[in-house]
Amino acid sequence: MTPEARADRLCEGIVRGNRSDLARGISVVENGEDEAGYLLQHAYRSRLTASVTGLTGAPGVGKSTMVDGLVSLFRQAGLTVGVIAVDPSSPFTGGAILGDRVRMRSHTVDTGVFYRSLASRGHLGGVSRHTGDVIALMNLYGFSEIIVETVGTGQSEVDIMRYADTVVVTLAPGLGDDVQAIKAGILEIGDVFCINKADLPGADKARREIEMMLHLREPGGWSPPVVETVAAGGQGLKDLLLAIESHRQYLSSVNLRDERRKGAYMAVLEEYLRGETVETVLRDSRLDGTLEKILHDLASGITDPRTAARFLVDKYVKESQMSSS
């Protein structure tokens, strides 16, 4: 079978709701197999009807438990849920695999839920692109809700949160003291703030700090609510869901959802542009030995990065055949 034919078959299976085809489709994309391009062409041309919720926060805040709780609430409301757990901090060791194993506990027998972990494989990232791709595949499958969960608060995580309609930023009391800097970055991307483990000492302090910083935001528009949960005991999760839903209503009421989605497609587009340029240049120049020579010249001060980059783009992008799409 040609890659096109294999992609068509997978695509049909996914649209029909075949779980193993969805799992296989995601692997095809992650591994960059031949049919990935065709499959994604289909997937992305299926309009995104699922709602995408992002959930981020430092390690230890209890994100997994919160996601499990949200999944249960969505399921009780009759909605199907795809969950993508993204771990951009594990470029080498595939921590995401562990993640999948840990997750098998709660919703394993429920066919309305699908968990998938994504880890960055090597330096050229790709995890952010794959997040967009998996959202497209899960949407093609027909999930009404998609939750994207990321560990930490680095730039990669901020980038990944661009795919979400609503971003939930989670904190927990007593996780270190120079979180100021992180909170500053996080503050800007949160649509809903959640203090999990709110039964621990320090929850009030955390709330005050968040509220103080929210006051520094530009006034007008959406005011992010601060919700308290004890996800392990199930407390507060309904409030969290209500907060997410009111943010969705806000987005629709002011016609901002399409703007938001444009931001998400911008993120996807950037990743694909990177693939067509930077990754292509590095791959091709490595193959013919040019890259090695240039790195040597850079280390010796014979050339400089701008001159080298322009040379490589001229040689491997501009002089290459015009690509047909």
Binders of its own copies among residues 146 to 205 (CB under 8 A) are: 151-159, 162, 172, 175-182, 184-188
Give the H or E element holding residue 171.
strand 166-171
First-to-last alpha carbon distance for the chain, in angstroms, is 21
DSSP line for 129-188:
HHHHHHHHHHHHHT-SEEEEEEEB-SHHHHHHHTT-SEEEEEE-TTS-STTHHHHHHHHT
Choices 5-13, 21-29, 66-74, 82-90 (CB under 8 A): range interacting with its own copies: 82-90
- In 3D space, the residue among 106, 110, 112 whose CA is nearest the CA of residue 81 turns out to be 112
CB of 306 to its own copies, least distance (A): 6
Choices 2-10, 75-83, 93-101, 235-243 (CB under 8 A): range interacting with its own copies: 93-101
What amino acid occupies position 162? R
x/- letters, 18..37, toward its own copies (CB under 8 A): -------------------x
Q: Count of CB atoms within 10 A of residue 322's CB? A: 6
Alpha-carbon torsion (42, 45, 46, 51), positive or negative: positive
Nearer to its own copies, 238 or 257 (CB): 257
- In 3D space, the residue among 279, 282, 280, 300 whose CA is nearest the CA of residue 291 turns out to be 282
CB of 242 to its own copies, least distance (A): 27
Rounded distance, CA 227 to CA 168, Å? 10
Choices 42-50, 105-113, 228-236, 243-251 (CB under 8 A): range interacting with its own copies: 42-50
Rounded distance, CA 143 to CA 139, Å? 6
Per rule CB under 8 A, count of chain residues that contact its own copies: 97
Q: Which residues pair with 235 in a beta bridge?
A: 230
Per CB under 8 A, 68 contacts its own copies: no
Nearer to its own copies, 110 or 188 (CB): 188
Binding-site member from 17, 32, 60, 221 for its own copies (CB under 8 A):
60
Residues from 300 through 319 that contact its own copies (CB under 8 A): 300-314, 317-318
Nearer to its own copies, 168 or 171 (CB): 171
Nearer to its own copies, 16 or 92 (CB): 92
Residues from 108 through 127 that contact its own copies (CB under 8 A): 120, 123-125, 127
SS3 at position 148? strand
Q: Tokens 């968040």 label which residue?
A: 210
Residue 257 CA to its chain's centroid (Å):
18
x/- letters, 254..283, toward its own copies (CB under 8 A): ----x--xx--xx-xxxxxxxxxxx--xx-
Q: Tokens 């949960």 label which residue?
A: 229
Nearer to its own copies, 239 or 272 (CB): 272
CB of 283 to its own copies, least distance (A): 12
Q: Give the single-character DSSP code of 175.
A: S
